[in-house]
Structures are given as structure tokens and as C-alpha cells.
Amino acid sequence: MKPRLIPYGSKIFFDYRDNMSVVCKEHMMKTDFQHYRTDLNISFFRCLEGPHEIQFAGHVDNIRELISRRIASKRYQEAEYFDIDGYLTPASKEAQAKTKSGEYFVKAQIKSSEKKGDQVVIYAGKKGQKDKSQIFVDPKHGKLTFDQNNINPRDIFTRIEAKFRDGSTVTMDTKNDDEAGS
């Protein structure tokens, strides 16, 4: 595997793929840690080619940690998240569940679109059916809606309740076929 060299100062690289090893820029050779002087806040390394000593400010472990975090931060800067009721929620957040019998399933995702904004989408269906119900929870306006071109949620659920952080509640309630006759 090719090294992934990260320049640090004028004399060294850190090799990200080799546990942040210190590499001499002049000889392109891995160095050996010699010591750290607390009073000067300087790390000392030795390059065997030459041989010569390399010094740089700071403790090498702190520098390694800082560089690792900077590299990892690129992933966080590109992450998508939504502000739902004042709480930052990852866009990739998803949850799934099945009933004990396995006859019904529910899947919820947090999505965002320019047209509708941030919303929670709940997909629900019955095993063996091609189509599914799609329920949309709009936390900003505190409402529940569903896709009228798909299965009506009343054909899957007997009750759906959304409780928002401000304490308000929205409920869709129906009786199933067994309860309708009683």
C-alpha cells in the first residue's frame, strides 16, 4: 500500500497509512523517536540516513492526534443533517421494525427536499403486497400527511400518533375491521 504523506513543517511528513509515522523529507525514510523535552516543548527524532537529528515544536502524540482529527473532520464537514425542532439530526438516520408475526413492517427515514423541507417519512406495508403506505411528518408545521397514490395508512395502522417536542400531538385514528362491528 502506498504511503499517504502529510507534510508538517519543513523537515518531516507524517504517514497517515503507517500509524502516523514520522518520515524525513530529505531522505524519505522513516525516523526513530528519540525523546521529548518538556521544558522546550520539542520532539526529537533521528533519521538513520546521514545520520541526523530532526526537531520540531510540540509533543509528537499531540501533533498526530491533531492531524488525524483534521483528516477525519473532512467527513463531518460533508455530512448532511437536519434541524428538527431545534435538534440536529443526521440525514442518514433510519429505523426499521417488523411486527412479531412478521406480517407488517415499518421503516422511518429523515429526508429533506427543497419543495417540502425537512420531514420524517414513514413507510409501512404488509408482507406480500407490492405497494406500501407513505406517511409524512412535518415537524416544522406539526402535521401528518400521506401519499394518496399509495396504500392508505388506515389499511395498515389502527392509530398513528406524532408527539412533537413542544408538547403538541397529531393523531390519525381508525378502527380495524375486527373492531368495526363491536
58-116 confidence digits (pLDDT tens):
999 999 999 888 888 877 776 666 665 566 666 655 667 777 888 888 888 877 777 77
Q: Which one, of 145, 90, 86, 93, lies nearest residue 116 by Cα?
A: 145
Q: What is the largest CA-CA distance in the chain?
A: 93
- Cα-trace Rg, the chain: 29
DSSP secondary structure code for residue 71 in this structure: H
* Residue reference for cell 477525519: 72
What pTM did the predictor assign?
0.44
